[in-house]
């Protein structure tokens, strides 16, 4: 008789991850990669000892309250945990984990791609070529902004932010950052610390956002803060859509208050994205693919499995957040 703990996997994972998970656990998989409704999620959870979800599954307090008592853990396949009510999970005695560290390189690569794509009008250029609208060349054609030697501001100098800083130094960019507190000198290197978001924004040409999504950061980049950026500046977001006030950013991009934006994450993604973004030429848009490399997705899966193994072995998981 199979006495292995049962793990509900809410989305299709890389085959290597599902195989490795199945070596230790009985798995309830989602081969069609369907987004479950809350009702479906709760029905499947009735058979599970743990859930391995992605950020696409939401666990607010009322959903957590309805989870069966046998569910011991929510082992997220993500770094961000804003889709889980951590306080409600703690109260119900459910362990919550995430997958930090292993996404840093891939997400930093996307941040650099967004910066360059926004600066050099990549979306416009790609459409011109693809739609056979490119007719001529002139000195005034498709002129963008150069990033080499510019000032990069990092809002949230954690794991990903530090890798972005490292990559950006290859473009001879000077690094500025804001955290709740300064990094130690070894981590910070030559980066300049600013003790407020406002001070950071007043001293940069490119802003790359890497702070976590929480109540204190919701709508952080609002009309007032965007007004502190200059007309040639670029905003990049690979963290969470909730950090941005969409109406304010669309207005700033429309008016020329800031020059361009590169966005991989959005409020209400995918269907509820602010329609203004789709109408703007000065926005480089990607579909939340910051961690979408083969190597990273495998590493994320293995990290989630390691957390589950620790939990069911009675050990403390390395990536516990609740």
- Residue-wise pLDDT for 45-90, tens only, equals 999 999 999 999 999 999 999 999 999 999 999 999 999 999 999 9
Query: Does some domain include residue 268?
Result: yes
Determine the pLDDT at residue 1: 41
Q: Quick one: 109 and 67 in the same domain?
A: no
Query: Does some domain include residue 74?
Result: yes
Query: Does some domain include residue 321?
Result: no
Q: Quick one: 78 and 145 in the same domain?
A: no
Cα distance between residue 161 and residue 178, in whole Å: 10
Q: Quick one: 94 and 156 in the same domain?
A: no
Query: Does some domain include residue 141?
Result: yes
Query: Does some domain include residue 318?
Result: no
Catalytic, 43? Answer no
Specify the number of domains making up the chain: 2
Q: Quick one: 200 and 174 in the same domain?
A: yes
Catalytic residue among 194, 240, 274, 303: 240
Q: Quick one: 208 and 116 in the same domain?
A: yes
Determine the pLDDT at residue 2: 72
Q: Quick one: 122 and 271 in the same domain?
A: yes
Cα distance between residue 109 and residue 99, in whole Å: 18
Catalytic, 240? Answer yes
Structural domain of 67: 6-102+294-312
Element (H, E) at 176: strand 174-178
Sheet holding 6-9, edge to edge: 26-28, 6-9, 50-52, 73-75, 95-97
Query: Does some domain include residue 48?
Result: yes
Q: Quick one: 123 and 202 in the same domain?
A: yes
Q: Quick one: 151 and 212 in the same domain?
A: yes
Q: Quick one: 279 and 151 in the same domain?
A: yes
Query: Quick one: tokens of 156?
Result: 């949230």
Query: Does some domain include residue 227?
Result: yes
Q: Quick one: 211 and 94 in the same domain?
A: no
CB of 260 closer than 8 Å to CB of 285:
no
Catalytic residue among 121, 176, 288, 297: 288
Q: Quick one: 71 and 126 in the same domain?
A: no
Cα distance between residue 249 and residue 192, in whole Å: 26
Determine the pLDDT at residue 213: 85
pLDDT tens, per residue, the chain with 322 residues:
479 999 999 999 999 999 999 999 999 999 999 999 999 999 999 999 999 999 999 999 999 999 999 999 999 999 999 999 999 999 999 999 999 999 999 999 999 999 999 999 999 999 999 999 999 999 999 999 999 999 999 999 999 999 999 999 999 999 999 999 999 999 999 999 999 999 999 999 999 999 988 999 999 999 999 999 999 999 999 999 999 999 999 999 999 999 999 999 999 999 999 999 999 999 999 999 999 999 999 999 999 999 999 999 999 999 999 9
CB of 295 closer than 8 Å to CB of 267:
no
Catalytic residue among 169, 218, 223, 269: 269
Query: Does some domain include residue 322?
Result: no
Q: Quick one: 202 and 72 in the same domain?
A: no
Query: Domain of 31: which CATH number?
Result: 3.40.50.720
Give the distance from CA 146 to its chain's centroid. Answer: 25
pLDDT tens digits, residue range 230-271? 999 999 999 999 999 999 999 999 999 999 999 999 999 999
């Amino acid at each position: 008789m199979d006495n292995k703990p049962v793990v509900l996997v809410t989305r299709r994972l890389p085959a290597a991850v599902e195989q490795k998970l199945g070596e230790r656990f009985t798995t309830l998989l989602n081969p069609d990669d369907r987004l479950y409704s809350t009702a479906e999620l709760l029905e499947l959870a009735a058979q599970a000892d743990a859930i391995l979800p992605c950020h696409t599954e939401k666990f607010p307090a009322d959903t957590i309250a309805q989870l069966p008592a046998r569910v011991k853990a929510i082992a997220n396949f993500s770094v961000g945990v804003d889709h889980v009510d951590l306080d409600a999970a703690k109260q119900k005695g459910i362990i919550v984990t995430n997958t930090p560290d292993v996404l840093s390189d891939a997400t930093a690569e996307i941040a650099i791609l967004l910066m360059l794509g926004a600066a050099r009008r990549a979306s416009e250029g790609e459409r011109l070529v693809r739609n056979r609208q490119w007719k001529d060349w002139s000195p005034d054609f498709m002129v963008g902004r150069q990033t080499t030697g510019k000032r990069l501001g990092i809002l949230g100098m954690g794991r990903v932010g530090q890798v972005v800083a490292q990559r950006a130094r290859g473009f001879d960019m000077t690094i500025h950052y804001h955290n709740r507190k300064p990094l130690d000198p070894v981590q910070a290197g030559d980066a300049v610390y600013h003790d407020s978001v406002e001070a950071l924004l007043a001293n940069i040409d490119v802003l790359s956002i890497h702070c976590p999504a929480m109540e204190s950061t919701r709508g952080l980049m609002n009309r007032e803060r965007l007004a502190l950026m200059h007309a040639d500046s670029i905003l990049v977001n690979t963290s969470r859509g909730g950090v941005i006030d969409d109406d304010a950013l669309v207005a700033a991009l429309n008016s020329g208050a800031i020059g361009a934006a590169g966005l991989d994450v959005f409020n209400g993604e995918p269907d509820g994205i602010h329609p203004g973004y789709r109408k703007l030429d000065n926005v480089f848009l990607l579909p939340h693919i910051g961690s979408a490399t083969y190597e990273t997705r495998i590493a994320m899966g293995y990290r989630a499995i390691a957390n589950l193994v620790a939990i069911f072995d009675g050990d403390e998981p390395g990536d516990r957040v609740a």
